[in-house]
Each structure stands twice: as structure tokens, then as C-alpha cells.
């Protein structure tokens, strides 16, 4: 595929006339591993069919030229959670606790 729009997020299909079939056929399709085909054109060039770039990972993790394509819209905070001590007694082991009586962080 040697299209100038291969780095775009959305690509419109290109058509050429096929002499043998005597119809307009799509040429130079983008690779299916990178783009997902959406919609269909009732007539060639009607503009309803297009290809969208497919990402296998979250967009926050995808990099292009070693730069993320988007900044994460979410606030991320590290959370420390402590597990409660074992209360002991007859029901002490049923409702949580590490069993050894220590605080687990």
C-alpha cells in the first residue's frame, strides 16, 4: 500500500473502472490488520464507506513517534489499602484479616 493518507485515522476508499467487469471496483485497500472497514457505498464514491484505524490497546498506551497519541483524560492516583487485623474469637477468621494478626499493606 503506497497511499499518502496511510497515517490518517479515517481513509475513504478509492475506485477505478475495471474493463473486464465493466464496473467501478475499489483499489488500493488499506491492510485489514490496521484498519476496520465500516459502512458501504451504494454507488462508488458516495462517501458512506470508510476505513478507521484500529488500535489493539487503550489509546492512552498507543504511541506514535514515541509520543502518546492522546493524553489520558483520567486522573490516576496510587492507592494504598490496608487489610484489617484479625479480630480473633469464634468469628475472627470468617470476616477478613490476614489470619496472622498483622496489618497487611
pLDDT at 86: 60
Task: Report pLDDT digits (tens) over 25-68.
Answer: 999 888 888 899 999 888 888 889 999 988 888 888 888 888 88
More confident residue, 31 or 104: 31
pTM: 0.55
pLDDT at 47: 85
Task: Report pLDDT digits (tens) over 3-28.
Answer: 676 678 889 999 999 999 999 999 98
66 grid coordinates:
514515541
Amino acid at each position: 500500500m503506497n497511499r499518502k493518507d496511510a497515517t490518517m485515522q479515517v481513509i475513504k476508499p478509492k475506485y477505478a473502472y475495471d474493463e473486464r467487469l465493466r464496473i467501478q471496483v475499489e483499489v488500493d485497500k488499506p491492510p485489514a490488520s490496521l484498519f476496520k472497514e465500516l459502512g458501504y457505498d451504494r454507488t462508488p464514491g458516495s462517501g458512506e464507506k470508510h476505513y478507521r484505524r484500529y488500535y489493539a490497546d487503550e489509546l492512552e498506551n498507543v504511541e506514535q513517534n514515541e509520543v502518546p497519541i492522546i493524553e489520558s483524560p483520567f486522573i490516576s492516583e496510587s492507592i494504598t489499602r490496608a487489610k484489617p487485623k484479625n479480630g480473633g474469637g469464634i468469628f475472627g477468621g470468617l470476616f477478613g484479616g490476614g489470619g496472622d494478626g498483622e496489618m497487611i499493606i
